[in-house]
């Protein structure tokens, strides 16, 4: 009993520190669920925007729920998954809408549905069960593995498309409307479309910029007001889901509109977007935030967009570490990836870090990209040592995972052993001069299998979750589902001629 009280108290404590919480009652009730804990979910701008949009609709109320920090404790306490606002069981709502960001969060979807008392598989739900909708960033690449758990999936930008299934529920239809909803642009109905990817939806300009509804100290981005200064990207990096072909390129928001969204009480502002530093008015936006005495944070920085003025403003806004991505280990790999970040850009940023007295430069990098060899890793070692002579350098390494909806779709995974060996080579070569952090090659392999998989891989995720969720459980489940998807695409071209370069830009 006391355990129950502690768990419920935690919700109360979190609610008490929030600003912007909406409490509303309406006939159609939507539970908006994040399949990771509160601190992660509340850092998601898309999740917050959907909360505002759903509550703004007449006749609809929306409450939030999250994967509990400790799922076992909730089970032991015999508590169902509850919404935060009214502490009602999620299973009692008309609609459950998930926001899904990463492949590995599929197990969180399974756990949330089970805790809610709703059949995990859509095929086992009846007329009394809520309609389960999945949306979120993962739908820009490959949401098909989430198919077995969803009655329908909103592809891409959900601000407008979300109303179609709600209209159906208001009409008293739910799953009966799926055949009709399957024709709506931006909706994927797994039971009808099977393993065929559907195009993503694009929301109208009226929805820009997206910005936070709730500020809370209990997130990874504590008490930070998030606002989108641009949406999409005009560039063409071949590994990236947000490249220009995904959703019509970059859409900019004017400086005043961005600054107008910041509430008086916000002390920190986070600029969010795929290519935040590509905004042509970035210095003016930063100046506006910094001049009001607030701290600033940017979700992405390109090394070739940083200059003395911008780094000075970032420092004034509280920055101590400049984080950029260079992604490919060598110049030739970055050329192939169309990343267009060259050594000279990184050297310049390192000099700016030193000149402005910042603590560190952090560089994100992928290993195991197609065509990569030990020579590329050796080039990275040589160059990183050079950089570390200018300023303190940290490196974040992630094994490359090919995503659907990108030119590198269909490239195989380098292999756990290869990724680990490259990492070992890098670590040894750097000899401690650079602070090296890497994500696990094993989990990157699991991510790859899901990213390139179909609904069967979603079922494998469910099996792995039931089997404890450890890596061995995943390996067994993936083997039973037919094994690792075989990358069938030919290796990408490393451009030598102008024509080859232009071909990569498409
Ligand atoms: S990696 Fe960054 S710059 Fe490249 S396409 Fe993606 S968002 Fe744009």
Domains of the chain are: 2-193 (3.40.50.280)
Tell me, in angstroms, the distance from the centre of ligand 1 to residue 45's CA.
Answer: 19
- Which residue is it, tokens 């709600």? 166
Q: If you take atom 7 of ligand 1, which residue's CA is the nearest one? A: 274
Which residue out of 228, 234, 240, 340 has the highest number of ligand 1 atoms within 8 Å of its CB and is therefore the one to mutate? 240
Residue 338 Cα to chain centre, angstroms? 21
Residues 6+ apart with CB under 8 A from 420: 441
Calculate how far, in angstroms, residue 232's C-alpha sits from the geometric centre of ligand 1: 9
Q: Looking at ligand 1, which residue's alpha carbon is closest to its atom 4?
A: 237
**DSSP 8-state code for residue 485:** P
pLDDT at site 2: 59
Q: Which atom of ligand 1 is nearest to the CA of 243?
A: 5
Q: Where would I find the beta strands (DSSP E) of 186-223?
A: 187-188
Beta bridge partners of 132: 96
Radius of gyration (C-alpha) of the chain in whole angstroms: 23
- Token pair in block for residue 125: 């739900």
What does the pLDDT read at residue 499?
Answer: 80
* Burial zone of 256 (CB within 10 Å; 0-12 exposed, 13-18 middle, 19+ buried): exposed
What spacing in Å lies between the alpha carbon of 288 and ligand 1's midpoint? 25
Ligand 1 center to 415 CA (angstroms): 25
Distance 63 CA to ligand 1 centre (A): 33
Token look-up 């490359």 returns 400
Name, in order, each residue with C-beta under 8 angstroms of 52's C-beta and a sequence gap of 6 or more: 22, 213
Q: For residues 402, 405, 409 and 410, what is the CA-based torsion angle, rounded to 10 degrees?
A: 120
Q: Of ligand 1's atoms, which has the minimum distance to the CA of residue 236?
A: 5
Containing 343, the helix (H) or strand (E) segment is helix 343-355
What are the two backbone dihedrals, phi and then psi, of residue 244, each rounded to the nearest 5 degrees?
A: -60, -25
Measured CA angle at 140 (ends 139, 143), to 5 deg: 30
Closest ligand 1 atom to residue 234 Cα is 8
Model pLDDT, residue 153: 98
Which atom of ligand 1 is the closest one to the Cα of 278?
3
Kindly report the protein residue whose alpha carbon is nearest to atom 5 of ligand 1. Answer: 243
| Mutation to probe ligand 1, out of 248, 249, 251, 274 (largest number of atoms < 8 A from CB) | 274
190-208 in b/e form (b: 16+ CB < 10 A) is bbebeeebbebbbbeeebb
Distance in Å, CA 148 to ligand 1 centroid: 31
Candidate from 237, 245, 504 with most ligand 1 atoms within 8 A of CB, to mutate: 237
**Three-state SS for 127?**
coil
Low-confidence residues of the chain: pLDDT under 50: 1
Sign of CA dihedral 150, 156, 158, 162: negative
Strand order in the sheet with 28-34: 60-66, 28-34, 95-99, 131-135, 152-154, 187-188
CA of 21 to the centre of ligand 1 (A): 33
Ligand 1, atom nearest to 274 Cα: 7
Q: Which helix (H) or strand (E) holds 244?
A: none
Q: Please tell me the pTM assigned to this model.
A: 0.96
Distance of CA 113 to the CA centre of its chain: 21
DSSP β-bridge partners for residue 85 = none
Per-residue model confidence (pLDDT) at position 140:
96
Beta strands in 273-417 (DSSP E): 295-298, 321-327, 360-367, 393-399
Query: Which pLDDT score, from 0 to 100, does residue 490 have?
Result: 83
What's the gap in Å between 238 CA and the centre of ligand 1?
Answer: 9
- In degrees, rounded to 5, the angle at the alpha carbon of residue 234 between the alpha carbons of residues 233 and 237 is 80
CA of 307 to the centre of ligand 1 (A): 19
CB atoms inside a 10 Å sphere around CB 119: 15
Cα 394 to Cα 411: distance, rounded to the nearest angstrom:
28
Q: Which H or E run contains 499?
A: helix 498-505
Which residues, in sequence order, are bridge partners of residue 393? 361
Q: From the CA of 171, how far away is ligand 1's center (Å)?
A: 41
**Which atom of ligand 1 lies at the shortest distance from residue 338's CA?**
4
Helix axis angle, 471-480 to 455-466, nearest 10°: 140
Q: Are 293 and 66 in contact (CB under 8 A)?
A: no
pLDDT at 493 (0 to 100): 79
- Measured in angstroms, how far is the CA atom of residue 241 from the centroid of ligand 1? 8
Mutate to test the pocket of ligand 1, among 234, 235, 245 (most ligand atoms within 8 A of CB): 235
Return d(Cα 79, Cα 2) in angstroms, integer: 12
Residues near ligand 1 (Cβ within 6 A): 233, 235, 237, 240, 242-243, 274-275
User: Would you say 227 and 272 are in contact if contact means Cβ atoms under 8 Å apart?
Assistant: yes
Tell me the pairing of strands 152-154 and 187-188: antiparallel
């Amino acid at each position: 009993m006391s355990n129950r009280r502690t768990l419920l108290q935690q919700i109360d404590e979190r609610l008490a520190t929030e600003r912007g919480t909406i409490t509303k009652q309406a006939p159609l009730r939507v539970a908006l669920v994040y399949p990771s804990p509160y601190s992660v979910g509340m850092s998601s701008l898309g999740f917050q925007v959907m909360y505002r949009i759903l509550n703004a609709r007449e006749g609809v109320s929306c409450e939030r729920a999250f994967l509990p920090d400790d799922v076992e404790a909730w089970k032991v306490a015999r508590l169902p998954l509850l919404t935060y606002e009214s502490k009602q069981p999620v299973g009692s709502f008309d609609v459950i809408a998930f926001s899904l960001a990463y492949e590995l969060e599929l197990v969180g979807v399974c756990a949330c549905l089970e805790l809610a008392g709703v059949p995990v598989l859509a095929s086992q739900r009846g007329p009394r069960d809520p309609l389960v909708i999945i949306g979120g960033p993962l739908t820009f690449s490959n949401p098909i593995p989430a198919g077995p758990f969803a009655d329908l999936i909103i592809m891409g930008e959900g601000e407008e498309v979300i109303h179609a299934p709600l209209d159906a529920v208001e009409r008293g239809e739910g799953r009966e409307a799926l055949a009709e909803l399957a024709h709506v642009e931006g909706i994927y109905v797994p039971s009808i479309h099977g393993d065929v990817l559907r195009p993503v939806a694009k929301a109208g300009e009226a929805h820009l910029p997206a910005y936070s509804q709730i500020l809370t100290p209990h997130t990874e981005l504590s008490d930070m007001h998030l606002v989108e200064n641009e949406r999409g990207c005009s560039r063409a990096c071949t590994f990236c889901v947000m490249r220009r072909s995904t959703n019509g390129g970059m859409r900019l928001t004017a400086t005043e509109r961005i600054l107008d969204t910041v509430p008086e009480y916000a002390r920190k502002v986070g600029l969010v977007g795929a290519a935040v530093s590509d905004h042509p008015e970035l210095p003016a936006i930063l100046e506006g935030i910094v001049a009001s005495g607030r701290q600033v944070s940017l979700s992405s920085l390109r090394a070739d967009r940083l200059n003395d003025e911008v780094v000075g403003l970032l420092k004034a806004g509280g920055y101590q570490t400049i984080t950029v991505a260079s992604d490919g280990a060598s110049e030739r790999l970055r050329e192939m990836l169309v990343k267009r970040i060259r050594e000279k850009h990184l050297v310049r940023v390192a000099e700016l870090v030193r000149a402005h007295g910042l603590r560190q430069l952090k560089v994100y990098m992928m290993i195991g990209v197609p065509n990569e060899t030990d020579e590329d890793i050796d080039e990275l070692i040589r160059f990183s040592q050079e950089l570390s002579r200018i300023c303190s350098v940290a490196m974040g390494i992630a094994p490359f995972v090919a995503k659907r909806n990108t030119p590198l779709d269909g490239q195989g995974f380098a292999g756990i052993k290869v990724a680990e060996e490259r990492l070992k080579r890098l670590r040894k070569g750097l000899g401690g001069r650079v602070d090296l952090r890497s994500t696990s090659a094993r989990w990157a392999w699991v991510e790859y299998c899901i990213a390139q998989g179909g609904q069967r891989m979603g079922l494998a995720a469910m099996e792995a979750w039931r089997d404890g969720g450890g890596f061995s459980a995943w390996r067994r489940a993936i083997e039973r589902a037919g094994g690792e998807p075989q990358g069938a695409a030919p290796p990408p071209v490393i451009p030598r001629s102008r024509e080859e370069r232009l071909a990569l830009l498409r």
